[in-house]
Structure 1
Amino acid sequence: RRFNQSQVELYRNISQYVSRVFRFQYPMDYLMPKRVSYAKSANYARKENLWHEIAEEAYYSKVMVDYKLSKGNYVVDVDGNRLLDLTMQGGMLALGYNPDALIDARASRLFDKYLTQSPNIAEYPPAEFPDLVRSSILPAAPAGLSDVYFTDGVGNLANEAAIKVALLKFRETR
Structure 2
Amino acid sequence: MAIRVQTQDFDLGAEVAALRAGQAQVGAVVAFVGTVRDMNDGSGVSEMELEHYPGMTEKALEDIVAQARGRWNIFDALVIHRVGPLKPLDQIVLVAVTSAHRGEAFAACEFIMDYLKTQAPFWKKEVTPQGARWVDARVTDDEALAKWGIQSSNSSNKA
TM-score by length of 2: 0.24
More strand, by proportion: 2
More helix, by proportion: 1
Greater RCO, 1 or 2 (C-alpha within 8 Å, sep 6+): 2
